[in-house]
Amino acid sequence: MKRFFQWMIRHRSALCTALILGVSTAFLLEHLAFPFLLRDTTAVGGDTPAHNYLASHLETQLLHQGRIVSWAPGWWCGFPVFQFYFPLPYLLMALMDILLPFNLAFKWGSILGILLMPLCAWGAGRLMRLSSPTPWLLALASLLALFVKTHTMWGANIYSTLAGMIANSISFPLMLLFLAAAWRDADDERFRIRTVILFAAVLGTHFFTALLAGLTVAIYPLLRWPRVRRTALILAGEGALAVALMAWWLIPLVLKNQFSVDFGDNWRNSLGSTMPEYAPYLLPAAGAGIALAVMRNCRPVLAFAWLGLAGTLLYMFGNRLTPVFVNVRFWPFIFFSFLALAACGA
């Protein structure tokens, strides 16, 4: 018994991490009605049936024809599926279908982003070398981002995912890992393939997360002053290689963009009115996060602040640049940045 307690003391950090992430995952599965995730039934709700069609079509084309982008005849007179939409989440579902019935592969692929959020938030804190217990607090903060009830279709939260924003849901935790991995590379002044793969995955998963990820990493060289040039070369090299890996999809997307449709117009709401009722209670912690980051020169925390600032600027003025930048699509980045700063301040 004495040796057991000694072992627990030596490994207390790992045990706390396992406990927090395990309880968070169980908590999420409980709210996602775990028994229904094991039933071979069709998932519906919001736009989900349309995404079911995308995944089933890709499963047929990938496994039998070896194609990702193809012509789908199931809607109207047909359309070029995945020519203008993000293929990687559905590619994952198609591969999962090798081992699971399609309905189960689709269900578990759909909620993958939800389940990964606490783990990736914790992993981001670890990669950024944030002191304990900040990574744990980031994992817990991600639960607030998932369960926020302000909206049901702007992205990243559970409501949006179950309404059909599957690609956005998966891209968000990938973005967190990419931001952290890129910071680690900048801090170590090392080029790493893992960061390239993460950014390529974000590029192939959702446009808005790829945009905010790129804008956030673009500030890293300045945060690494005076090592600006070396940092910029490393991050630019990683970004260029990631774009090259996804060029098979990105180049046709850009060249054929004239055949796509716009996202729509801005929503008529103010940023302050969309925040949940508990947001004012977290303001002191968020302010402390920024203040401590400046005082202690904890530059990764300033990266979270820049993510929120970039999202806020695009929320307010992005639609003036292009109709693609609908304001509410940037709200999840602003809110998560706020939560991350509060976790760091706490």
Mean per-residue pLDDT of the chain: 93
Token pair listed for 234 = 């490393």
Tens digit of pLDDT for each residue in 33-42? 999 999 999 9
Kindly report the pTM of this predicted structure: 0.95
In which region does residue 302 sit, left (phi positive, over 0), alpha (psi from -120 to 50) or beta (all else)?
Answer: alpha
pLDDT one-digit tens code per residue, 147-161: 999 999 999 999 999
69: left (phi over 0), alpha (psi -120 to 50) or beta: beta
List all residues 6 or more positions away from 111 whose beta carbon is below 8 Å from its beta carbon: 32, 37, 161, 169
Per-residue burial over 278-294, b if 16 or more Cβ lie within 10 Å, else e, is ebeebeebbeebbeebe
- Of residues 119, 137, 120, 126, the one with CA closest to residue 340: 137
The three-state DSSP-derived secondary structure of 166-231 is: HHHHHHHHHHHHHHHHHHHHHHHCCCCHHHHHHHHHHHCCCHHHHHHHHHHHHCHHHHCCCCHHHH
CB 206 within 8 A of CB 173: no
User: Which residues of the chain have a pLDDT value below 70?
Assistant: 8
> In this predicted structure, what is the pLDDT of residue 105?
96
Q: Which of 189, 26, 24 is nearest to 121 (CA)?
A: 24
Write the pLDDT tens digit of every residue in 100-144.
Answer: 999 999 999 999 999 999 999 999 999 999 998 999 999 999 999
